[in-house]
């Protein structure tokens, strides 16, 4: 048995990588899954360095559940009091990261002195951290939690900014990036749609620094974006190599098995239930919530709906809404809806174990906001989607999923940001669950499911990509 000094020496010999995700569970979750693969298959130890202002119970629970080779630390708080109250999240994340660089330098110096630190990995809104990594002589990479379409857009953004006079939402023709599905201007990444906002200037700042990375680890895979993958794999002067390491998704937890909604799904026919959820931060207006509810009812299909209070729930003068909305989102549903749909639908307030629901045999469709984590979870479960994007890169994801990957149906009107009427909701739901378009999407997503899962297996494409990166890290540090 090794003594304490021997164990410490062994730990120093093991290669170590530090990740620095910017705030948001959508950024943290795939980094955690990637860290698990580095530990289990490539012999690494990992430290995840977070920003103090991103702390949440969900984040704390996730980080505290990780195996011992994966540690975490939070950088000290920085003041953000001088930011305008209406600052967008891209601005807040970027400023917090920039002001935390001295603390990050101290943290990385400490890790480097006590471990065999071979690489540092920032993420898409943290490019200023490359300065610190370079000062410390560390290989510095970027983890990109979204898809190749979004990466391609950001790599082209400096050129687009220099050559475009109007707002991107006013472009007369869809934006055509090499190998990508054409994206209408209004569907582009949300912080790009107001070029006068600080959020746009920060995203442009990061885009200018993207090429300083020594490589991109992207949470996507060839089969879902084949033409884009082909283009980005071709060597280009000044552009770092791209490593497709996805799909990185969470697994269902044993504790989820006791959830009421899973017991309800046990009683439903195979692939008969539409799962309706807009992610942890997604909400609809009261008017759209009403149309969605009545559309689900009109469709005649079984559904499991994670119901949240509407985004404009606080605007009403009724005390019930202002006081109770967070506790009772069902109070915003149309009168009689709950009773009328009791035989075919289940309503769940605020949260459901999404991975477990998507992987249940009774789930046959997913009405989704098209966040990339949720999209990959749906693909890995083999479930086709109805695309209902809300913010961030979700609108361009919806275009890619419907017109490129062809695994999603998109309601008419949703593309323009208009109110989607109940009749259109009912049409899309019926088509997804029972129609020819839904059948084709189901067949296509089954193909992607197979490709995504096999890629993560030993000798698969994602496994080989990560193995190539880790060998590069080890050789550069030796």
What is the torsion angle, in degrees rounded to the nearest 10, for the CA atoms of residue 109, residue 114, residue 118 and residue 120? -40
b (16+ CB within 10 A) / e for 400-422: bbbebbbbbbbbeebbeeeebbb
Contact of 88 with 76, CB cutoff 8 Å: no
Sign, CA dihedral 409-411-412-418, equals negative
Sequence-ordered list of residues with C-beta below 8 angstroms from that of 147, at least 6 positions apart, any chain:
218, 219, 220, 224, 225, 372, 393, 397, 400
Q: Cα dist. 137→125, 130, 323 in Å? A: 21, 10, 54
Please choose, from the candidates 221, 131, 116, the residue with its C-alpha nearest in 3D space to the C-alpha of residue 470: 116
Sequence-ordered list of residues with C-beta below 8 angstroms from that of 7, at least 6 positions apart, any chain:
none
Sole residue written with tokens 């739901």: 429
Beta-strand ranges (E) seen in 90-144 are 116-123, 139-144
For the chain, the first-to-last Cα distance in angstroms comes to 28
Which residues are bridge partners to 171 per DSSP?
A: none
283: left (phi over 0), alpha (psi -120 to 50) or beta: beta
Q: Is 156 among the catalytic positions?
A: no
Q: Which of the residues 27, 140, 206, 369 is marked catalytic? A: 27
Starting at the edge strand that comes first in sequence, how are the strands of the sheet with 345-349 ordered?
A: 345-349, 302-307, 273-277, 363-368, 385-387, 408-409
Q: Which of the residues 16, 45, 123, 206 is marked catalytic? A: 123
Q: Is 27 among the catalytic positions?
A: yes
CA 147 from centroid of its chain's CA atoms:
9
The secondary structure of residue 97, as a DSSP letter, is H
Residues carrying an active site annotation: 27, 123
């Amino acid at each position: 048995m090794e003594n304490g000094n021997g164990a410490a020496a062994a730990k120093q010999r093991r290669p170590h990588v530090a990740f620095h995700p910017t705030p948001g569970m959508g950024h943290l979750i795939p980094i955690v899954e990637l860290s698990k693969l580095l530990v289990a298959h490539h012999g690494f130890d990992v430290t995840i360095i977070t920003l103090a202002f991103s702390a949440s119970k969900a984040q704390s629970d996730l980080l505290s559940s990780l195996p011992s080779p994966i540690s975490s630390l939070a950088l000290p708080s920085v003041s953000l009091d001088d930011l305008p109250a209406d600052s967008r999240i891209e601005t807040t994340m970027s400023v917090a990261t920039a002001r935390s660089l001295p603390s990050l330098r101290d943290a990385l110096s400490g890790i480097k002195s006590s471990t065999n630190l071979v690489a540092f990995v920032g993420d898409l809104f943290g490019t200023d951290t490359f300065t610190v990594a370079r000062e410390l002589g560390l290989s510095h990479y970027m983890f990109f939690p979204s898809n190749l379409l979004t990466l391609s857009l950001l790599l082209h953004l400096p050129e687009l900014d220099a050559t475009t006079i109007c707002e991107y939402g006013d472009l007369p023709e869809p934006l055509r990036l090499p190998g990508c599905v054409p994206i209408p201007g209004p569907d582009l990444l949300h912080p790009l749609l107001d070029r006068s906002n600080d959020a746009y200037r920060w995203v442009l700042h990061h885009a200018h620094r993207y090429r300083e990375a020594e490589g991109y680890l992207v949470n996507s895979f060839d089969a879902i974006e084949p033409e884009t993958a082909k283009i980005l794999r071709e060597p280009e002067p000044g552009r770092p190599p791209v490593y497709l390491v996805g799909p990185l998704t969470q697994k269902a937890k044993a504790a989820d098995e006791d959830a009421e909604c899973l017991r309800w799904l046990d009683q439903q026919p195979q692939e008969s239930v539409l799962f309706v959820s807009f992610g942890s931060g997604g909400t609809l207006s009261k008017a759209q919530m009403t149309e969605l509810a009545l559309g689900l009812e009109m469709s005649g299909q079984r559904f499991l709906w994670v119901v949240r209070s509407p985004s404009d729930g606080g605007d009403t003068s009724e005390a019930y809404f202002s006081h109770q909305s967070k506790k009772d989102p069902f109070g915003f549903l149309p009168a009689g809806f709950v009773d009328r749909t009791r035989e075919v639908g289940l309503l769940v307030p605020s949260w459901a174990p999404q991975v477990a629901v998507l992987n249940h045999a009774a789930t046959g469709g997913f009405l989704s906001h098209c966040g990339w984590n949720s999209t990959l979870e749906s693909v890995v479960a083999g479930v086709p989607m109805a695309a209902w994007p809300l913010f961030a890169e979700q609108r361009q994801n919806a275009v890619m999923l419907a017109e490129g990957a062809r695994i999603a149906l998109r309601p008419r009107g949703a593309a323009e940001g208009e109110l989607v009427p109940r009749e259109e909701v009912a049409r899309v739901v019926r088509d997804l669950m029972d129609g020819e378009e839904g059948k084709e999407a189901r067949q296509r997503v089954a193909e992607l499911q197979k490709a995504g899962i096999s890629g993560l297996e030993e000798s698969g494409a994602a496994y080989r990509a990560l193995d190539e990166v880790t060998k590069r890290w080890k050789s550069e540090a030796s």
